[in-house]
Structure 1
Amino acid sequence: MSVQAQRPLPPPASTPSGAPRTTPVGGPSGRPIRLGLRANLAQFSLLVAVNALVGGMLGQERTVLPLLADRVFHLSAYTGALTYILAFGATKAVTNFFAGTLSDRYGRRPVLIAGWLVALPIPAMLAWGPTWGWIVAANVLLGVNQGLTWSTTVIMKIDLVGPARRGLAMGLNEAAGYLAVAVTATATGAIAAHWGLRPQPFLLGAAYVALGLGLAVAAVRETREHARAEAAAHLAPPGADSSPAGTDRGKEGPATAGVHARAGDPAALSTARIARTTSLGDRALSSASWAGMVNNLNDALAWGIFPLLYAAHGLELGRIGILAALYPAVWGAGQMLTGWWSDRIGRKHLITAGMLVQAAALGLVAVGTSFPVWAAAQALLGAGTALVYPTLLAVIGDVAHPAWRARAVGVYRLWRDGGFAVGALIAGILADAYGVTTAIWAVAALTALAGITVAVRMYETHPRS
């Protein structure tokens, strides 16, 4: 298999070969570079706050937009009503892919700033758009915003913390984002119940954009040199199979050094080859990509279908907002534990359990008819997602070499957020043809299948396991 040369990520000149990952390294800026959560706590905490604002941009839609489609724009077909999720998911998936490549080429910070610039018109389009086409267009921009900003904050945190606390870092990152989704969904539901569906709920989004852009420009620092420092100190374990060629690795051991080229600089791997490895070749990377896609497929169901189901059973707007927030709240808070937990016991079993728990939760939504049952189901769905979400990102960080890890994260997130688009299509078509309950059961079955696939196919990637 030929390898198309890319511009390599050169290690800092002052780094000796095989230096410990926490050894200070002089970067081009002249500042010492250290890996680790404690060593980079201030910048890491800032990025957590930035990602909370990114999550808030998504949360402004979770309660209000499905009801806007029904009550303001009078879209009776589920397939039509879910076009905004389809537009969001497809755009975000593609943007994720390019975000990794762009952040390797131009740096993480410029990509983060670009993502916030794209977000500037979104709140106004949602608040005052005269037709449903404006709402769909706003969600195209939201997909670009989320793909650039969320992907970049993930990559930057992985850069900063190094390998030892990767699961914890991803747990904190995702917790901040999805707790903000939950808080904003609750807030917009309450605002909508008091003042109406538009424009007041979307003024929160305008504040998030202003604050996020200001922090990205004024306070966030570039982290690409941290990835280069880790790459310079990166050593393959003795006797490990380091080929990214896509062959079956059999009974793999821990992928502590990631997937390398057999010869030459891992930074020389082409983006196409990395995409093949992440999507199909490596059993852990490809299993994580499949599980991530199915996870967001059922999230599309929760986002677009559940509020309409609750409204059809007579729940008032405030209670719908609580249910819409409960799922991402448990999901967000739980990740602070599950990311750390995966650093202790490994990734594979948490992912398997999480997918099966999600499937059970979806089944409970399908059979439920009351607020208490749906609240329990939403909490269970959040717990299952918390087991899965940061752990899948940690798998990518475990396996991918630092020189091409950003691109691998982009490919994984391409598949994962493509689940929004797939979910919108599947849920909309099945709900229109056979009813909402059938659509929910079908997604539950796919989620259980994803958990079984991980159990059978994925190898454990964490070095301590």
Structure 2
Amino acid sequence: MTTHATGGTSPGIRLGLRANLAQFSLLVVVNALVGGMLGQERTVLPLLADDVFHLSAYTAAMTYILAFGATKAVTNFFAGTWSDRFGRKPVLIAGWLIALPVPAMLAWGPSWGWIIAANVLLGMNQGLTWSTTVIMKIDLAGPERRGLAMGFNEAAGYVAVAATAMATGAIAEHAGLRPEPFLLGAAYVILALGLSTFAVRETRDHARFEAARHVSPAGSEHDGELSTGQVARLTSLRDKALSAASQAGMVNNLNDALAWGIFPLLFAAHGLSIAQIGILAALYPAVWGAGQMLTGWWSDRIGRKHLITAGMLLQAAAIALVAAGTTFGVWATAQVLLGLGTALVYPTLLAVIGDVAHPAWRARAVGVYRLWRDGGFAVGALLAGALADAYSLTTAIWAIAALTAASGLVVAVRMYETHPRT
């Protein structure tokens, strides 16, 4: 469905995927490059911590994920606020400028401190660029195809994570862990900066156009302009759907920290080659990424809540299978199931935020949600590392499987259905 401007202050602005196909497609490409920046680390960095920098403690080895997650979480919050204040495009460009030194720092950094510093910059890059592409696609899509829009956005990002993880694994197998695998990231950042500067157009007026025509239920506390503090409280605690989505997002990315930092070490401990580890590291985000094009659309058809509940429980089962497994085949099956579970959850949670939040403060609500969600990287790095050091890798994995199942039950009990058709 396409909504046209009919005069007033926003002439020529239209909402809908078809009406904005060129810009929407361009933003899909940009977000694929955002994902590629993350994917360059997925296979190589856990092995780099062990083989090059000789970090024996799992908690120490996970510090780059802690640095990345904490920085990205905080940056997400400001990305939403700055997008409302300054516009979407300046925030997007700033994110790519920050990323310029990251590949070189990863490729030639002489100490682990350089790797942590690179991940601080990477967290800022991801928080600004990924948040902004989400906000811009929500702006363009309008209310009817929000789930599908988020499916395309997240699919592009995580398919690129998978493809780059597999590519860097293959490069590292033949050329070593540094510097060649990180040259891909250098190409990504240069291309993305050029596209964001010269081809992407501002979308803030689309949100204003939708806001002028938005109708909330009579007496709704969600209507109209809210302060940033009010948006934070509503998204984090007061609204049952928004707060349930925030906690599920946090646990989802806690799982991702586990898959990123702990799974490769478990696979290596059982004798898998770097190339095999690269395949496993790619399977999960590949299925997750490709599946979101279907699950985002599906949530527009049947609603959000049940897909999120099912996805969290499927993730829990997949993580438990990783803990129980000892062979490549079992772990490959678990990675596919983990990807399917995450695909059910990831675009659907963003669609919940878009459903409930008023267009006047939606960008800030996305920022608060992503603050909680990407805070899961930091929590996951600390929790998984501490449990692995105190007990074992498998104990850490079992514990997070249980936590993921509990999160799914919270969604089942607390969240209300948010899709307007349902």
Call closer, same or farther: CA 1:319–1:229 in 2, change over 3 Å.
Answer: same
Instruction: Report the Cα distance in structure 2 between the residues aligned to 1:235 and 1:399, rounded to whole angstroms.
Output: 12
CA deviation vs aligned residue, 1:387-435 (integer Å, no higher than 9, x gap): 0000000000000000000000000000000000000000000000010
CA deviation vs aligned residue, 1:120-140 (integer Å, no higher than 9, x gap): 000000000000000000000
Whether 2:311 is the aligned partner of 1:362: answer no
Greater radius of gyration (CA): 1
Whether 2:403 is the aligned partner of 1:446: answer yes
Whether 2:173 is the aligned partner of 1:173: answer no
Counterpart selection for 2:82 from 94, 102, 112:
102
TM-score by length of 2: 0.99
Alpha-carbon distance, 1:112 to partner: 0.1
Counterpart selection for 2:394 from 414, 427, 437:
437
Counterpart selection for 2:52 from 54, 57, 72:
72
Counterpart selection for 1:343 from 279, 297, 300:
300
Whether 2:276 is the aligned partner of 1:319: answer yes
SS of the aligned residue for 1:164 comes to: coil
After superposition, residues 160-199 of structure 1 pair within 5 angstroms as 160-199=140-179
Aligned residues: 422
* Amino acid of the structure 1 residue aligned with 2:382: L
Alpha-carbon distance, 1:235 to partner: 1.2
Instruction: Report the Cα distance in structure 1 between the residues aligned to 2:403 and 2:73, rounded to whole angstroms.
Output: 20
Instruction: Report the Cα distance in structure 2 between the residues aligned to 1:120 and 1:61, rounded to whole angstroms.
Output: 16
Indicate conservation of the 8 Å contact 2:387/2:393, yes or no.
Answer: yes
Residue 264 of structure 2 corresponds to 307
Alpha-carbon distance, 1:236 to partner: 2.0
After superposition, residues 63-462 of structure 1 pair within 5 angstroms as 63-237=43-217, 239=218, 242-243=220-221, 259-260=222-223, 266-267=224-225, 269-462=226-419
SS of the aligned residue for 2:421 comes to: coil
Indicate conservation of the 8 Å contact 1:27/1:225, yes or no.
Answer: no
Gaps of 5+ in 1: 1-19, 244-258, 261-265
Indicate conservation of the 8 Å contact 2:4/2:12, yes or no.
Answer: no
Call closer, same or farther: CA 1:180–1:410 in 2, change over 3 Å.
Answer: same
Instruction: Report the Cα distance in structure 1 between the residues aligned to 2:65 and 2:263, rounded to whole angstroms.
Output: 13
Instruction: Report the Cα distance in structure 2 between the residues aligned to 1:457 and 1:192, rounded to whole angstroms.
Output: 45
Alpha-carbon distance, 1:24 to partner: 1.9
* Amino acid of the structure 1 residue aligned with 2:359: P
Alpha-carbon distance, 1:27 to partner: 8.1
* Amino acid of the structure 2 residue aligned with 1:329: A
Instruction: Report the Cα distance in structure 1 between the residues aligned to 2:378 and 2:401, rounded to whole angstroms.
Output: 17
Indicate conservation of the 8 Å contact 1:21/1:230, yes or no.
Answer: no
* Amino acid of the structure 2 residue aligned with 1:181: V
Indicate conservation of the 8 Å contact 1:21/1:233, yes or no.
Answer: no
Alpha-carbon distance, 1:292 to partner: 0.1
Call closer, same or farther: CA 1:21–1:271 in 2, change over 3 Å.
Answer: farther
Alpha-carbon distance, 1:23 to partner: 2.2
Instruction: Report the Cα distance in structure 2 between the residues aligned to 1:281 and 1:151, rounded to whole angstroms.
Output: 23
Instruction: Report the Cα distance in structure 1 between the residues aligned to 2:220 and 2:409, rounded to whole angstroms.
Output: 27
Residue 41 of structure 2 corresponds to 61
Instruction: Report the Cα distance in structure 1 between the residues aligned to 2:29 and 2:4, rounded to whole angstroms.
Output: 27
CA deviation vs aligned residue, 1:277-321 (integer Å, no higher than 9, x gap): 000010000000000000000100000000000000000000000
Alpha-carbon distance, 1:31 to partner: 5.5
* Amino acid of the structure 2 residue aligned with 1:119: A
* Amino acid of the structure 2 residue aligned with 1:445: A
Residue 18 of structure 2 corresponds to 38
Instruction: Report the Cα distance in structure 1 between the residues aligned to 2:103 and 2:238, rounded to whole angstroms.
Output: 41
Alpha-carbon distance, 1:221 to partner: 0.1
SS of the aligned residue for 1:74 comes to: coil
* Amino acid of the structure 1 residue aligned with 2:232: A
Instruction: Report the Cα distance in structure 1 between the residues aligned to 2:137 and 2:403, rounded to whole angstroms.
Output: 31
Indicate conservation of the 8 Å contact 2:93/2:193, yes or no.
Answer: yes
CA deviation vs aligned residue, 1:88-117 (integer Å, no higher than 9, x gap): 000000000000000000000000000000
Indicate conservation of the 8 Å contact 1:176/1:332, yes or no.
Answer: yes
Instruction: Report the Cα distance in structure 1 between the residues aligned to 2:409 and 2:8, rounded to whole angstroms.
Output: 45
Instruction: Report the Cα distance in structure 2 between the residues aligned to 1:270 and 1:388, rounded to whole angstroms.
Output: 28
Instruction: Report the Cα distance in structure 2 between the residues aligned to 1:429 and 1:27, rounded to whole angstroms.
Output: 58
Indicate conservation of the 8 Å contact 2:2/2:19, yes or no.
Answer: no
* Amino acid of the structure 2 residue aligned with 1:108: R
* Amino acid of the structure 2 residue aligned with 1:341: W
Indicate conservation of the 8 Å contact 2:47/2:265, yes or no.
Answer: yes
Instruction: Report the Cα distance in structure 2 between the residues aligned to 1:55 and 1:222, rounded to whole angstroms.
Output: 21
Indicate conservation of the 8 Å contact 1:119/1:141, yes or no.
Answer: yes
Alpha-carbon distance, 1:21 to partner: 7.2
Instruction: Report the Cα distance in structure 1 between the residues aligned to 2:320 and 2:137, rounded to whole angstroms.
Output: 35
* Amino acid of the structure 2 residue aligned with 1:363: A
Indicate conservation of the 8 Å contact 1:25/1:229, yes or no.
Answer: no
Indicate conservation of the 8 Å contact 1:158/1:397, yes or no.
Answer: yes
Instruction: Report the Cα distance in structure 2 between the residues aligned to 1:93 and 1:281, rounded to whole angstroms.
Output: 20
Residue 255 of structure 1 corresponds to none
Instruction: Report the Cα distance in structure 2 between the residues aligned to 1:26 and 1:191, rounded to whole angstroms.
Output: 55
Indicate conservation of the 8 Å contact 1:355/1:384, yes or no.
Answer: yes
Gaps of 5+ in 2: none
Indicate conservation of the 8 Å contact 2:2/2:18, yes or no.
Answer: no
TM-score by length of 1: 0.90
